Structure 1
Amino acid sequence: MRSEPLIRLASVAAATLMAVGLSAIVSLFVWSVAWRWTFPDSLPSAWSLTGWSRSAAGWSSALLDTVLLGILSTLISAVAAILWLEGEDRSGRRLPAAATALIYLPLMAPQIAFLYGLQVVSLQVGLDGLWASVLWGHVLFVFPYIMLALGDPWRALDPRYARAAAALGVSPMRTLILVKLPLLLRPLLAATAIGFSVSVALYLPTLFLGAGRISTLTTEAVTLSSGGDRRIVGVYAFLQALLPMLAYAAALGLPRRLFSNRRDLNGDAS
C-alpha cells in the first residue's frame, strides 16, 4: 500500500515530538528542583523543593483555575460541536459557509483587535473581570479547534450504522450515544485533548477578559519569566507543560482500556 510509508513516517514524527516534549518537561522539572546549578555542570550540584514550597499558594490556585477552565471550556465546546455536527446529519445538509466561517473568526482575526472588542463589550455589560467571562473567552477559542479536529472524522463515519440502528427502532438520541460516540471515541478524545491544551495555553483572552484578576499557570509563567526566580518559573512552566501531556496520554490510552476486547475500536487493527 502506498499509504504505509506515510503512516510510518507520521508515526516516527509523532514519536519524535513526544520524546522532545517529554525531555522538555523533564528539563523544566529539573529547573524547578535545582538549588545550585553552575556552568558547565550538566546537572545541579544541589537539589531542593524550596521553589515548590515557597510558591505553593500561588501555583496551587493557578493550577486549579487552569484545570477548571480547561475542563469546562472543553466540555462546553465538545457538546456544542457534537450538537452542531449531529444537527447537520439529521438535516442532511451543512450550514452556509458564512455561518460556518463565524466559528473560525477568533482564529482568523488578529487576536489583539478581536479581544479588545470583546473586552469593550464585557465592560459595557458589566462582566469584565469575572471568572465566567474568562470561561466564555476560552470557549470562543477552544470551540473552533474542536470543530476542526472532530468535523472530518464525524462526517466520514459510515451513515449505514445510524440507518441500521434506526431500522431496529433505536431513537436518534440513543443512536448518538450508543453507536456514533463509541465509534468516534478516538477522534473525540483527540479533539478534546487539543481543546484542553488550547485552553491551558491561552494568555491574552485570560488577561483581557479577566482584567488581570484571574490567574492561570500561563499568565503567571509569563509574568514570572520577565524576572522571577528561575526555580519558581520552572514550577509554573513544568505544570503548564504537564497538563497537555496528560490530556494527550489519556486520549491515547483510554480507548485501549475501554475497548480492549474490540481490536477495531482500540486502534490495534492490522
Structure 2
Amino acid sequence: MKKIIHLTLMLGLAIAAKAQSTRHASFSVGFGDSSNTLFFTENPTIRKVRVKYTDRVPADIFIHHEGLKGDKLETHYDLKFEGDLYVLQTKYPSINLPMYPNIQTGYLEAVSTLPKHAEITARMKKDSLIYDVDVYTLEGEESSLFSEKFAAHYIGGDLKLKEDLVKSYRNYEVTGRSMPQDSVLLFRGVVHPRGNISNVELVSGRPSTFSEFVKRHFQQDKDLWQPELQGGRRVKSIVGIFIRVRDGEIISVSGSGSSGIPRYR
C-alpha cells in the first residue's frame, strides 16, 4: 500500500531562560502504517507509543495506557538498560519499533546558521505513524540550554558491578548452595545521597536462594553507588539491576538509574 505523507510545518520564536535568544522550528510527518496492528490488537488498553531516539536508534519508549476508569497511565522503558529491553521484548513480543526517519531539514538554514540541536519522537498508533521533529538553533554555548542529566550508577560501571557480585557469591557458595542454571532477574532499589542502596526487591524473575543473596549483597552498608545529581545536588533515586545467569554462571550484570523502573504494569 502506498503511504500518504502529510506534512505540517510550524515555525516560531522562543526566548531561552538564560538570556539567550533561540529560534525554534518544529514539524510533523505522518503516514498510514499497519506494522503494529497486531500489537495494538493484542493490547487494547494501549492508545499510543512514543519513541525517542539517541544517536539515531530508539532509546526511550513511553507506552500510554487507558485504565478501566478512563485514567491515563504511562510506562517508560529505557532501552539502553538491558533489564528494560528484556522486559519490553518479553511483555510485548509483537511490537515493531520504527527506524530513525530520514528527514531533510536543510531548509532550516534560512532560519539561522547557528548550531542546531534536533529532537525526534515517533508516535505509534494502531493505523498510523507520526514523527515529531523539534529543531533548536542556539546562540552561545549549547550546554547552557541542554544540560546533561547525571543518573545514579554503580561506581566503576557495569563491569565492576559484575566483578563484585561474582566475588561475593564465590564466598557465599561455600555454604553448599548453588546458583540456578539459567535465570533472568530484574531488581530495583533506592540509592541514597551518601551512595548506599536500600529497599532492593525482585520485580521480574523467579525467587530463589540466589535472588535472596543478591538482595543482601547490594544492601550491605557500603557507599558503592554514585547518587543522582540534580543541579549539582545529590538526591535519592530509583535504580534497576539486571542479572542474567546461564549454565550456572553470571554472564551479564547491568545497572540503570532509569526513572521508568518503578512504573512497570
TM tier, shorter chain? under 0.3
Structure with the higher strand share, 1 or 2: 2
Structure with the higher helix share, 1 or 2: 1
Greater RCO (Cα-Cα under 8 Å, separation 6 or more): 1
